[in-house]
Structure 1
Amino acid sequence: MFDMMKMMGKMKEVQAKIKEAQDSLVNIKATADAGGGMVNATVNGKKEVIKIDIDTLLLKPEDKEMLQDLIIAAINKANAEVEVLAKEHIKKATDGMLPNIPGLDLGGMF
């Protein structure tokens, strides 16, 4: 027989696990480079840029536009990498807690 109270308790447990996993995303980091390593960007699992490293050879006024492009490229690449890591982290944190319901995609929660 279907036990609604048991299911509600399970959902609260799942919500708590998801919240805990989301809060810990700040500890997941990905670093990516652009321009052959001349620009490096590090982002966390919340897609916050936490570090930019620029080769001093790029610090010339005439290279400003190229530097801007490389910074953007490095950040975008790092964000793509950390997104994969964050989804894996959330999946591991909630593994076995949610039933496999066709069409239920919780990926947007992260």
Structure 2
Amino acid sequence: MRGNMGNMNKMMKQMQKMQKDMVKAQEELQEMTFDATAGGGMVKVTANGKKEILDVEINEDVVDPDDIEMLQDLIIAATNEVLTKIEEITNEKMGKFTQGMNLPGGMF
């Protein structure tokens, strides 16, 4: 019986350490910034790890009052790209904590 308690205590300490490491990794991700461009760099979107858009830069050469749709498409493309980057990095960093745990999608 004593051996089981020792194993249980060891497992609890490992879980507590993993939880602390997860929180630290999540905080680091939220502090990071990510950039993506579209149209050969004509539009640049910057976001943080919380998926908040921080900045949108538009090269004046792409601003054409007769073709607003192209500019809108470039902004959408750059925004989607930066959000995809954040998702990929988040999965990469957080995946090491959830491997083999069979948690429902998105839970970590």
Note whether the superposition's TM-score is higher than 0.5: yes
**1:107–1:25 distance in 2 versus 1, CA, 3 Å:** farther
Secondary structure at the counterpart of residue 109 of structure 1: coil
The residue number in structure 2 matching 1:35 is 39
The residue number in structure 2 matching 1:57 is 61
**1:60–1:35 distance in 2 versus 1, CA, 3 Å:** same
User: Normalization by structure 1: what TM-score?
Assistant: 0.73
Percentage of pairs with the same residue = 41
Q: Write out per-residue CA displacement over residues 49-86 of structure 1, whole angstroms, 9 at most, x where no aligned residue.
A: 12211011233432322211111100111111222222
Distance 1:107 1:15 in 2: 18
User: Normalization by structure 2: what TM-score?
Assistant: 0.74
Letter of the 2:107 counterpart: M
Count of residues in Structure 1 that have an aligned counterpart in Structure 2: 104
Pairwise CA RMSD: 2.5
**Is the contact between residue 40 and residue 54 of structure 1 (CA under 8 Å) also seen in structure 2?**
yes
* CA radius of gyration, larger in: 2
2:14 matches 1:16: no
Distance 2:27 2:66 in 1: 42
The residue number in structure 2 matching 1:67 is 71
Unaligned runs of 5+ in 1: none
**Is the contact between residue 39 and residue 52 of structure 1 (CA under 8 Å) also seen in structure 2?**
yes
Question: 4+ runs of 1 displaced by more than 4 Å?
Answer: none
**1:87–1:51 distance in 2 versus 1, CA, 3 Å:** same
Letter of the 1:38 counterpart: M
The residue number in structure 2 matching 1:109 is 107
Q: Relative contact order, CA 8 A, sep 6+: which one is greater?
A: 1
The residue number in structure 2 matching 1:83 is 87
